[in-house]
Structure formats: C-alpha cells, structure tokens
Amino acid sequence: MERQVRALANRDTQIGLYLNVLPDCTSGPLPTIRLVAAPAAGKVVVKSAKAKATNYKACLALEVPAYVAFYKAPPEFLGDDALTIEVKYQGGRTEIQKITVKVSAPGGQQKI
C-alpha cells in the first residue's frame, strides 16, 4: 500500500491510525507496528490513543484503543521524505505501508 501525506516542517503530522475493531464493536488485540525503513530526514513516533467512531461498519458508536503514528521533519527540511511501516495483526495479516511525506515550510501554502 502506498500513499502520500502533506506535512509542515517542525510539526507533528498524523500519518497513520491503527486499531482492531471486532464484529461485536469491541476492540481486538492491537497490531504490532514496526518501522521497516526510517525516513531520511524526519522522525516517526507512535502514541497510544482512544479512537472514537460513529457509523463504522455495523457499529453505530464506539471508542477503542488505537495507535497513532506521527511524522515530524526538522525545521530546515523541505521536500519529500519516505518511510515504510509494517503493521502485523493477530491472525497473521500483515500490511506494508509505504508513505511519502511532502514537507513544506510553515506558511508556505499561503504565498501568492
């Protein structure tokens, strides 16, 4: 799986949300997350969180534990950075996520 994320230099940007919702709307075991290829410039941090959702599959409302991955580029970095995350779910399913982060300067988008 490949995707792109836009980020501002020196700011935490969410690049992933990982949870495991069972058919009965409760949380299953959270996946394990491994940084396969680290970004060249920035850093990746994973934090524990609570994910709230409404109308998710058959679940009208739920709140489950989750992992949230953040990317942060150094203040002087501009351009593209890339990383690869491996997400392993209980039961053997594994996802490889290749993420390209397009980093711009804070305020850079507003220039005319």
Write the CATH number for 60: 2.60.40
Return d(Cα 27, Cα 16) in angstroms, integer: 18
How many Cα atoms occupy the beta-carbon half-sphere of 23 within 13 Å?
Answer: 0
pLDDT attached to residue 109 = 52
Q: Is the pLDDT of residue 99 over 90?
A: yes
User: How large is the average pLDDT for residues 34-57?
Assistant: 96
- Asked if residue 106 lies in contact with residue 40, where contact means CB atoms within 8 angstroms, the answer is no
Q: How far apart are CA 25 and CA 104, in angstroms?
A: 39
Residue 4 is predicted with a pLDDT of 97
Structural domain contains residue 26: yes
Residue 12 lies in a domain: yes
* Phi, psi for 101 (deg, rounded to 5): -105, 120
> Residue 38 is encoded by which pair of tokens?
């680290």
Domain assignment present for 111: no
State the pLDDT confidence band at 110, using cuts at 50, 70 and 90.
very low
| Average pLDDT score over the chain | 93
Q: Which domain, by its residues, includes 66?
A: 2-106
Q: What is the mean pLDDT of residues 67-74?
A: 97
